Amino acid sequence: MDGTPEAATARKPLHASFYSVSRASIFAVFQEGDDLFGQLSGQRKLRLAALGDGTWSYPVTTGQITLAVSRDQQPSELMLSQNGRDIRAARIAEVSPRGVEVDAKLLDSYVGWYGLAANRVLAVTRDGDRMHVQETGRPKVEVTAQGSDAFSGDHGDLVIFLRDGQAKATQVLLQESMSGARLALRVTGARAKMIEEEFARRIADVPDRFREQAPLPGSKETILRGIADLQIGAPNYDRMGASLAAKIRRQASELHTMFKALGAVEAIFFRGVGPGGYDIYGAKFANGFAEFRLLLGKDGKVEDVLFRPDGNDAPGGVVACSDEQGLKSQGETAPIKLNFYNSSGASIQLYRLDSDGKRTADAVIGENMSSSILTYVDSPWVVADTSGKCLEIVVPGQRTRWHTVEGPGAVGHAARLAGPRTAPMAGSDEMLRQYIEALRRGEPDYDHMTSEVAAQTRQQLPFNHAILARLGELRAVSFRGVSALGSDIYIAHFTNGTAEWRIGMVKDGTINRIALGPQY
């Protein structure tokens, strides 16, 4: 809760309802004007697509979710349907954001600590009739009352307290525009202190690990074991922290399919240590490539794994809309993550072409917004306007892993066809300087980032800030080249050392890619 841009819209919802799919997964429905938006925990907030007869759809990489909901009245229970499976989800909270008066004495019932994850807590404090919340590693934020047991920050994030049968506030629901809703149980002060001490230890260790760029013992073997387990569809949850185990359970079927498609591991190699203390590995499979970022806890359990499939040697490309009738998905080939940025001047709709060449609606991306898609090489994507008129067709591959959708008359596509850049983008050096200096102050300029970069910056801010404090004052930046993804590569020279940075920008100087440390 620190001011990153909202992913879907700047309008505040007129009404929001939250439904429990599981302990770690909440589906939220927002009414904003005449529109309905949905958001599953960990996914993007997207406009629900009307299917008729009061049925709506919400696209996720594991298969479209359909639900019946009304603009006028949201039910006490949702029936979510996905891949032929029905899931009942009970409403656990709702709020109609509006300023209300709150009894200052009631604030005492909220004060305390709530466990968000293995290494983060939400601290709730009061100062007279003012209340503040602070997530571990993030700034303190004042929140204002928006309804019964509900509060909001300046940018529409919500904090909703849930009470037990004895009317005691025992849980908090934290809704953020980028990451969706999370539930946190109240914990004791002693437990909160242990969690924050462990977080502080990580912050203290990260600058040294980043400087040394050496893997933790056993991290390579852990990655290989995890790959083998997923390929046979049997993740070992005992070797994971609770938060990661819950995430893998939700994605197990999709991950099993992807790792089967990748085939046998042919090589795995250490790339370095990322700013968050993650060991970074690249892997070559029989049928493709992938990157893994692994975070090990002090107990030897895996606290987090970030998996990015990178396709295979297929170059990919952009083809004309007139070719749509001859295109179709070729099945589950090498998985790949595509990142779309909408610079067209209006909202766009993405459609996946199935094995029959028929469109399946996926994400709606607002103007100057971005979206990440997990898909497969040889699975074409139609980029259309909101009426469904095709603008272009993207074939996944190395050239399209980061793709900007541009408006009529744009010269970007022609420039890409002319060949790779060898000179830096205009203004990228100055934008990088500003980004680094803002991190040093602990005050990132989120207005000049895409939603994904803003979320990434927010998550990594405590670690990047610690690294920059150790490196000292920025002296100079020197251009070293252009990456395969089109990012400008710089070496930043500080008083106490150097570090590699990569930066990508779109129109108006918006940063759509940023990375510190080891990369491709």
Give the pLDDT of residue 345.
84
Whether residues 303 and 328 share a domain: the answer is: no
Give the pLDDT of residue 458.
85
CATH assignment of the domain containing 460: 3.10.450.590
| Position 6 in a domain | no
| Position 79 in a domain | yes
Give the pLDDT of residue 285.
97
Q: Is the torsion defined by CA of 123, 127, 132, 136 positive or negative?
A: negative
Give the pLDDT of residue 170.
93
Cα 154 to Cα 12, 39, 157, 462: the distances in Å are 11, 20, 7, 21
| Position 8 in a domain | no
CATH assignment of the domain containing 353: 2.60.40.780
| Position 166 in a domain | yes
Q: What pTM was computed for the model?
A: 0.78
- 504-519: b or e for each residue (b if 16 or more CB lie within 10 Å)? bbbeeebbbbbbbbbb
Whether residues 184 and 259 share a domain: the answer is: no
Whether residues 34 and 111 share a domain: the answer is: no
Environment class of residue 54 by beta-carbon count within 10 Å: exposed (0-12), middle (13-18) or buried (19+)? exposed
CATH assignment of the domain containing 180: 2.40.128.50
User: What digits encode the pLDDT tens for the residues 146-202?
Assistant: 878 999 887 678 999 999 888 899 999 999 877 789 999 999 999 999 999 989 988
| Position 423 in a domain | no
Q: Which of 283, 309, 335 is the last residue of a domain?
A: 309
Find out whether 258 and 312 touch, Cβ atoms under 8 Å. no
Give the pLDDT of residue 519.
67
Structural domain including 372 reads: 317-418
- 128-158: b or e for each residue (b if 16 or more CB lie within 10 Å)? eeebebbbbbbeebebebbbebbbbbebbbb
Instruction: Report, as ranges of residue numbers, the positions in the chain whose pLDDT lies below 50.
Output: 2-10, 411-414, 417
Whether residues 123 and 178 share a domain: the answer is: yes
Whether residues 389 and 408 share a domain: the answer is: yes
Find out whether 118 and 241 touch, Cβ atoms under 8 Å. yes
Give the pLDDT of residue 73.
76
Total number of domains in the chain: 5
> If you search the block for the tokens 């001011």, which residue do you land on?
3
According to DSSP, residue 194 is labeled H
Q: Which of 291, 309, 327 is the last residue of a domain?
A: 309
Based on its alpha-carbon atoms, the radius of gyration of the chain, rounded to whole angstroms, reads: 23
Give the pLDDT of residue 7.
37
Q: Which of 95, 113, 136 is the last residue of a domain?
A: 95
User: What digits encode the pLDDT tens for the residues 268-287?
Assistant: 999 999 988 999 999 999 99
User: What digits encode the pLDDT tens for the residues 330-364?
Assistant: 877 899 999 888 888 888 889 999 999 999 877 77
**Token pair for 329:** 């998905």
